[in-house]
Amino acid sequence: MKLKIGISCYPTVGGSGVIATELGKLLAERGHEVHFITSSVPFRLDRVYPNIYYHEVEVNQYSVFQYPPYDLTLASKMAEVAKRQKLDLIHVHYAVPHAICAILAKQMLNNQLKIITTLHGTDITVLGYDPSLKDIIKFGIEKSDLVTAVSNDLVEQTHELVPTNQQIETVYNFIDERVYTKREVGELKKHYNITDDEKVLIHISNFRQVKRVPDVVKSFALIQEKINSKLLLIGNGPELAVARQLVRELHIEDKVLFLGNQKHVAELLSMSDLMLLLSEKESFGLVALEAMACGIPVIGTNAGGIPEVIVDGVTGFLCDVGDVECVADKAVQLLTDISSYEAFSVRASEHVKAVFHSDLIVSQYERLYQRVLEK
Ligand code: GMT
């Protein structure tokens, strides 16, 4: 059955917005009518797509308001779009404020709207500790018709931090396999002054403290002592200056490239040999999936949902948070044994296809939508 689906998410760079947008695109390809209700065009919605509509949430800047009332405007827009377009359901990504706004919209429509909420990580693992938000997050979870989380670990953490009887289903993240595949990068390496005999390590994040970017730099400093290599740091955020300073202190400026936010990540992954994702909190780690899909093994931390994405010793390695010696040892081991590296690379892309294929995950969401509508 073809559905009319509303989607609300943060439209800027970030895993939750990426998943929400990619899901909307794939649902539209399957013939559903998808309505994005967001503050600006989601950044992955980079062209016109059939079956996709965009409704901007425009916040009134009345001088009497000390703070622009984004949440109320979003709720009101959700109700307006749901009524006009006869939406079957609204799927919100990230609990705060999206789930709460959807509940308000539902009330405005005399309960004639189903709400699916997907928890993405920091909405629970960071905001769940905030006494000023905890109760409203719980309210958002309990009043949703169905709640999903992106890993089993996030389901467990939600039950610990925001105790509730609401059932929470794990639906893993996915990638668009047509985009995340190993590509011919030709001259790109030369453009970055990377020679054929150099290995390339890559880290991609929003450079927040939880990502522990200094650990990435420290690990790389140890790795480059043994292996001729370069480190690509992709992204932007509060820890960028800290990382730059550490690179200077460790005298590895000529080995580390800071490339800022990038749109065409698959190309940068395709010229890389190994990804490092050393976060202390990570509900899933979408970048690890993107890397593995391109055949790049990942060394990650034993944190959050990362062990559900990286199979230790099979598609990459896991080390304890902060154990940069472990990271360096595993990286040197992987990058020096060429035949074993090839096996890791093949298994990484096969694992993504087997467990996280977009067909599997989008179908799982479709089944959940049906279940909610039949309730
Ligand atoms: O911190 C980030 O990585 C951004 C954040 C977000 O909310 O956009 O990402 C979260 O959601 C992603 C998509 O589900 C997950 O892959 C990330 O692991 C998760 N981040 C954290 O849990 C820190």
Domain ranges, ordered by start, for the chain: 4-174+357-374, 188-356
Query: What CA–CA distance (Å, rounded) separates 190 from 359?
Result: 36
Mean pLDDT of 298-318: 98
Q: What is the pLDDT of residue 150?
A: 98
The ligand 1 atom at the shortest distance from the C-alpha of residue 154 is 22
250 CA to centre of ligand 1 in angstroms: 29
Q: What is the pLDDT of residue 264?
A: 87
122 CA to centre of ligand 1 in angstroms: 7
Residue to probe by mutation, ligand 1, list 148, 286, 306, 309, most atoms within 8 Å of CB: 286
Q: What is the pLDDT of residue 320?
A: 98
Residue to probe by mutation, ligand 1, list 44, 122, 210, most atoms within 8 Å of CB: 122
| pLDDT tier at 37, thresholds 50, 70, 90 | very high
| pLDDT tier at 339, thresholds 50, 70, 90 | very high
With a cut of 90, say whether residue 44 has pLDDT above it: no
283 CA to centre of ligand 1 in angstroms: 6
* 3-state DSSP of 241-290: HHHHHHHHHCCCHHHEEEEECCCCHHHHHHCCCEEEECCCCCCCCHHHHH
Q: 188-356 belongs to which CATH class?
A: alpha beta
175 CA to centre of ligand 1 in angstroms: 14
205 CA to centre of ligand 1 in angstroms: 9
With a cut of 80, say whether residue 186 has pLDDT above it: no
Q: 4-174+357-374 belongs to which CATH class?
A: alpha beta
338 CA to centre of ligand 1 in angstroms: 32
| pLDDT tier at 282, thresholds 50, 70, 90 | very high
| pLDDT tier at 263, thresholds 50, 70, 90 | confident
Among residues 289, 286, 316, the alpha carbon closest in space to that of 301 is found at 316
Q: 4-174+357-374 and 188-356 share one CATH topology?
A: yes
Among residues 177, 146, 150, the alpha carbon closest in space to that of 15 is found at 150
Q: What is the pLDDT of residue 14?
A: 84
What helix, strand, coil percent values describe the chain, rounded to 5?
A: 45, 15, 40
Q: What is the pLDDT of residue 77?
A: 98
Contact call for residues 230 and 255 (beta carbons, < 8 A): yes
What residue's CA is closest to ligand 1, atom 12? Answer: 15
The ligand 1 atom at the shortest distance from the C-alpha of residue 304 is 22
Place of tokens 């450079």: 207
Q: What is the pLDDT of residue 266?
A: 95
Q: What is the DSSP string of 48-93?
A: --TTEEEEE-PPP--TT-SS--HHHHHHHHHHHHHHHHT-SEEEEE
Q: What is the pLDDT of residue 125?
A: 86
Output the CA torsion sign for 38, 40, 43, 45.
positive
Is residue 300 lining ligand 1, measured as CB closer than 6 Å? no
What tens digit of pLDDT does each residue of 123-133 get?
Answer: 888 888 899 99
Q: What is the pLDDT of residue 122?
A: 85
Residue to probe by mutation, ligand 1, list 124, 208, 284, most atoms within 8 Å of CB: 284
Mean pLDDT of 191-199: 95
The ligand 1 atom at the shortest distance from the C-alpha of residue 10 is 8
